[in-house]
Amino acid sequence: MPEPKRLIEPEDLYHYSWISDPSIHPVTSSVAYVYKEIDQDKNDYKTHIRVVTIDGQEDASLTDGSKDFAPSWSPDGLKLGFLRINENGKQLWLANVSEGTAAQLTSAKHGVAAFVWSPDGSAIAYTSRISEEEAQGKLTKEEIVKQESRRGRSYERTIPKAEGSGWWDGRYSQLFRVEVTSGEVTQLTSGRFNVSQPVWTEDGSRLAFLSKKIDDPKLDPDLIAYQDLFTVSAAGGELCRITDASLSISQFSYSPDGSTIALIAEDRKYGSGIQSSIYTVPSSGGAPVAWQETDIQVGNYILNDMRTAAVMPGPSFAADGTSVFALGTYQGQAQLYRFKVGAAPEAVSLGERDIYQFTETGDARYFIVLSMDAYGSGELYRLDRLSGEELRLTSWNKAAMEELDISMPEAFWFDSTDGDRIQGWMMRPPALPQGGKAPLVLVIHGGPHAMYAPTYSHELQTLASAGYAVLYVNPRGSFGYGQRFAQSCRGDFGGGDYRNLMDAVDAALERFDFIDPERLGVMGGSYGGLMTNWIISQNNRFQAAVSQRCISNWLSFYGTSDIGISYTEGIVGGNPWEQQGLLLEKSPLIYASQVKAPVLIMHGEQDFRCPVGQADEWYTALKRLGKQTKLIRYPGSNHGFLKNGKPSYRVESLHEVNAWLGKHLAATAQTGGGPDEA
Residues recognised as catalytic: 526, 639
Helix (H, G, I), strand (E, B) or coil at 677: coil
| C-alpha separations of 94 from 83, 124, 343 in Å | 9, 11, 43
Residue 487, H or E segment:
helix 483-487
Q: Tell me the torsion sign for CA atoms 168, 449, 453, 494.
A: positive
Residue 40: how many CB atoms within 10 A of its CB? 14
Q: By CB neighbour count within 10 A (0-12 exposed, 13-18 middle, 19+ buried), where does 356 fall? A: buried
Residue 290 phi/psi, 5-degree rounding, is -80, 135
Q: How do strand 515-525 and strand 277-282 relate by DSSP bridges?
A: unpaired
SS (H, E, C) 315-356: CEECCCCCEEEEEEEECCEEEEEEEECCEEEEECCCCCCEEE
Q: How far apart are CA 48 and CA 71, in angstroms?
A: 10
Rg (CA), the chain: 25
Residues in contact with 140: Cβ distance below 8 Å, sequence separation at least 6, in sequence order: none
Are 442 and 520 in contact by the 8 Å Cβ rule? The answer is yes
Residues in contact with 290: Cβ distance below 8 Å, sequence separation at least 6, in sequence order: 267, 277, 278, 279
Render 46-76 in DSSP notation, one character per residue: EEEEEEE-TTSS-EEE----SBEEEEEE-TT
Are 272 and 264 in contact by the 8 Å Cβ rule? The answer is no
